[in-house]
Structure 1
Amino acid sequence: MRRKGGKDDPLGAVTEWATYNAASVAQFRNMIARAQARPPVGAAMLAQIASQARNLLER
């Protein structure tokens, strides 16, 4: 979801994106919280977090 006005109003573009993807952002934050609650974080969990971050940012 890209806006032409994103360069003119980057804060507005980010706010709109965050609102549109609120459920996905919450799910990602929950995954991060689970990882932080169980140190040490293994390589598989880091790979999963990186994958989810990429997927979230591609939206």
Structure 2
Amino acid sequence: MNAAVGTTAVPDLIARCAESVGSGDFAGVGELFADAVFIGSGEPAEAPRPSRGCSGRP
């Protein structure tokens, strides 16, 4: 990753997330974080892939 991309990636993600939430596009929010891996003080954690959307419909 080059320095220019590294300095804008997080602000861009925050802006895209805010736009999605503001417009009610919660599926879009899910897509933004679909491949995310949380790395904290313990083992890295990945969310399981849901078989249904947030609405509970297949």
Superposition TM-score tier, normalisation by shorter sequence: 0.3 to 0.5
Q: Bigger relative contact order, structure 1 or 2, given CA contacts below 8 A and separation 6+?
A: 1
TM-score normalised by L of structure 1: 0.38
